[in-house]
A and B are shown apart, each in its own frame.
Chain A
């Protein structure tokens, strides 16, 4: 029992990331009709917004008078640099700000990702609305390569550890709460935060689509683009907003994921492939499907990683997601919650 709960919990954070990326992919696909292979890159860019914030916040100077210890002409890590934020706000407040670099990055990520999203849509994607899906795949695949190589050039190829605030270091003892023996179900605090955060973002997006006029038009557009166009509603303008929104969601998902997985330049691609599988399993064009499939596959993957399961079916943890995707595609081509007529000739 404990083991099962533990695996469900373990699956939640990966599932959250899949769900958030798949949500954006589906939004773009559903409204714009574009298959965006660069969506993983947006997730990766978000993560690097956090990396950059952390670097900016710890940017420092060497205080006068405190020269480094140098021996024989070599200077061993000059005297500790004092970050400007600590200098300005005092060591305590400054230290806290640095410690909270990742959550603070969210605030920065929103405008940055919105800007990137708008630039992408206006600069590239909009010329591809009428082109075949294969062209869309190819051009966004090219863009994804470009974006990840740019990041690689400036940030290097190695993963960059980006810790969560100190408060969230350590684990939460779920076992005790649920009445099991202590230390049986330990769950890192940050993963809990991530799940909560994902739930809020997903809820927010759904609320936005459900309760605003804008959202209503978008949903109508997803259901039947032609009719909405005929009603004289300029759906094109809304596309930019939707693309920006999807970019923000992916970016925020990336920011918050940094303490779980140290960001590297190819993380976007890694997540993209899986997220596409998630979208297909959930059903192309279905938002609830994307979210549900994201969590489902995340949890499934975590179950498949249990030693007992691996002993039974070696290698299953590596392939379970693809296997599920293949089975779903062949038995339910529209996915778990897909609508009729999406991407069918």
Chain B
């Protein structure tokens, strides 16, 4: 079905199911319980999960398949965001043209940067992309202020010269991005006993986009083109003596992943029409690298998992503070409670980045294949115990960065 082989189809259906039922799955705890703080089923977070998932899936096409480590991918996300907001300002609040233009603008931008950066490989490539991204950031922050809004960021205003649609609503507000009338911030809440589930239009719209993008990614992974991208990573010299020109393959991967990033940026502003330069900062590029590695570079589902885990943990961990910790460890003797709180406290709340950095280091050191590799190891362990020989077909294990 859909031109996917059985195992891929199964994976895709699982992802679809997760997308559809996410508002339930991410809200497992009743609102009244103390565990409600671990719920993630609110629109903002769910949209974020999807958008970063999309970003990481696209990044993985470049890094996971071709092995080119770009440290400047956030620039494409940023460009996509700016393009999206400009479409809102000038053309229409409908998100479709905005997303198309975001994707295309980022694609053109990626073509330009990729064409130059791909003339070098290895660490030189990483530094070139980093330099381009930092340059874009600096320019967006300073000279390009008329286009980017500089420090305050680019936002909608009440007197935008929108060609199609209105500049302000009857109540005098800025109109909301919509999909042929379906407003992105509209949501229905269903209460079910102690639970309440929110179904947000924005989330489901993003989920549909993601589903399409992920489907295309699976097709790409299983295509001759995907095979060639893996050949780029494996042995470029053999590739050229086999009659293949590795440069356009790598460039195509670069542009495709840049377009995914642009689409993610467009979705970001479709949910919240504000674009800032800090989205292009190199730490933001680092974040998508983290997501991809954490999940498992070069695998289909890895980047989605990585993005999900990081976005979820970020929102949960950064809300935990000292009081919450005292609550948790309250049952313990005082000395144990205090010690634990002191030890854990730097890692939560504002210290979320510390946790992130530490987890990332541990993954690179002990589990270069990320969550997916961990899953495989566990699966193999059980299989071996059952005396079966597990031939893991489809995706050979691969370490990132090789």
Contacts and interface: CB of A to CB of B under 8 A. Distances in A.
A153 B350 contact: yes
A18 B361 CA distance: 27
B123 A150 contact: no
Interface in A138-155: 138-139, 141-146, 149-150, 152-153
Contacts of B30: none
Most chain A CB within 10 A, of B134, B236, B237, is at B134
Contact of A145 (B138, B360, B399, B400): B360
A149 B361 contact: no
B163 interface: no
Interface size class of B (residues with CB under 8 A): 35 or more
A325 B123 CA distance: 13
A149 B401 contact: no
A343 B401 contact: no
Interface stretch (B124-132, B151-159, B174-182): B124-132
Contacts of B289: 138, 141
Given A139-B364, A319-B135, A145 B357 contact: yes
**How would you classify the secondary structure of chain B's contact residues: helix, strand, loop or mixed?**
helix
Given A146-B357, A318-B142, A325-B127, A141 B286 contact: yes
Contacts of B139: 315, 318-319
Contacts of B336: none
Contacts of B350: 152-153
B51 to A, nearest CB: 22
Nearest to B124: A329
B353 A135 contact: no
B214 interface: no
A319 B139 CA distance: 7
A271 interface: no
Nearest to A134: B401
Contact of B67 (A127, A134, A326): A134
A98 interface: no
Given A135-B401, A315-B142, A323 B135 contact: yes
Contact of B122 (A142, A322, A345): A345
Interface in B106-125: 116, 119-124
Contacts of A142: 290, 357-358, 360-361, 364
A137 B128 contact: no
B283 interface: yes
A344 B237 CA distance: 13
A143 B135 contact: no
B127 A276 contact: yes
Nearest to A149: B354
Nearest to B360: A142
A290 B136 CA distance: 25
A102 interface: no
Nearest to B126: A137
A141 B70 CA distance: 14
B125 to A, nearest CB: 9
Given A132-B399, A138-B360, 18 more contacts: A131-B401, A134-B69, A134-B402, A141-B360, A145-B286, A145-B353, A149-B357, A150-B354, A276-B130, A277-B131, A319-B135, A322-B132, A325-B131, A326-B132, A330-B116, A343-B122, A344-B122, A345-B122
5 contacts: A132-B402, A138-B364, A141-B360, A273-B130, A318-B141
What 5 pairs between A and B have smallest CB-CB spacing? A134-B401, A145-B357, A315-B143, A318-B138, A149-B354
